[in-house]
Amino acid sequence: MRQKRTSLGLIVPLTLIAVFSLVACENLSLSKLRANYYFNSANTLFRDGKFSKAIEDYEKVIKFNPALTDAYRFLGESYKSLYIPGKDTADNKDRAAKALEALKKAYEVNPDDKDVIYSLGDMYDRLRDVENAEKMYLKIVELEPGNMNNYYVVAEFYKRYAGEHAELKEKAEQMYLRRIETDPENVQGYAYMANYYDNLSPTEFKNKFDHALEYVKRRQALEPNNAEVYYTIGVNRFQKAYQLQNFLSQAEKEAVGAEAEKNLLKAIEIDPNFPDSYAYMKILYINVHAKVYPERESRYTSEADRYGEKFNEARKRQLERIKLEKELKKG
């Protein structure tokens, strides 16, 4: 008789455990369902730019399912989207702090996720925390050394702060060079490097035009029949003749202006439908040739008008072609 009571006594607790386990599993499943519902809702709100409402739903996601780690990233992105760099108010500082908190949590969970790393680096960047932003951006390069775009992202980051931190100008150059060294046959590496020098001010770097030209010429060796390359050289030479006109001798102005004309005409020869080549021919004649050769001013002014007309014609053809391509895609 005692044996039966003992068996019955064991059955009741085991039954209760099973019931509680079932209830717990049902509650867990229900929580995950709620989390998924709010996650989908938050994502829709985020895509629609309704960041304040998205924040409410992302926070509910984390409440119901803390393991859904993407919610931390997009919660941080939502706060970041509402943050206004440089605005010194309590609300704005609070948004920045909450954005960092959520993105740090996402990074803690997914330390090798490129999107998370970039999001956190971008937030530090907006806060002008150069040291921590640099760490994040460099980690992206470490994770994907073969992705050429990563070098560009880091180089552009350095370039933005080069005026405040002199050492970053050299780091920007080094990153562009690393991009070229990683894939020396890729013409974009030379284009980015040339563009970097072209966008420096003459007061920062008086030899910037010649340094930029060096990398365009390397690109030219890879693409000897590319109209864009000749156009880029022509623009580079025009800018040197125009921006440094007070520093160049008469002979230098003549030589640089002639090189600009030669390359722009070559670009037109290769691609007569590219309007910008005609536009630069016009401003070259007005702003360089007419001043270098004042006795021929009327001739160059007339030629400038002719190239202005050619620009309008080429631009019209270009717009018609774009319109036709859009119509064909719709059809």
> Per mean pLDDT, which of 85-99, 146-160, 173-187, 207-221 is the most reliable?
85-99
Quick one: pLDDT at residue 176? 84
Distance (Å, whole) CA 81 – CA 50: 10
Domain range for residue 130? 31-143
Give how many domains the chain has, as a whole number: 1
Residue 175 falls within a domain, yes or no?
A: no
pTM exceeds 0.75: no
Residues in the chain, overall count? 331
Nearest by Cα to 276 from 247, 221, 315: 315
Distance (Å, whole) CA 137 – CA 147: 13
Tokens of 83: 């943050």
Residue 75 falls within a domain, yes or no?
A: yes
Residue 222 falls within a domain, yes or no?
A: no
Q: What is the pLDDT of residues 276-326, one digit of tens each?
A: 999 999 999 999 999 999 999 999 999 999 999 999 999 999 999 888 888
CA distance between the termini of the chain: 87
Distance (Å, whole) CA 114 – CA 141: 10
Tokens of 324: 């036709």
Q: 209 exposed, middle or buried (CB, 10 Å; 0-12, 13-18, 19+)?
A: buried
Q: 221 exposed, middle or buried (CB, 10 Å; 0-12, 13-18, 19+)?
A: exposed
For residue 87, what is the domain's CATH number? 1.25.40.10
The full DSSP string for 25-45 is HHHHHHHHHHHHHHHHHHHHH
Q: What is the arithmetic mean of pLDDT over 179-193? A: 81
Quick one: pLDDT at residue 191? 83
Residue 261 falls within a domain, yes or no?
A: no
Residue 116 falls within a domain, yes or no?
A: yes
CA of 133: how far to CAs of 87, 155, 174, in Å?
20, 12, 18
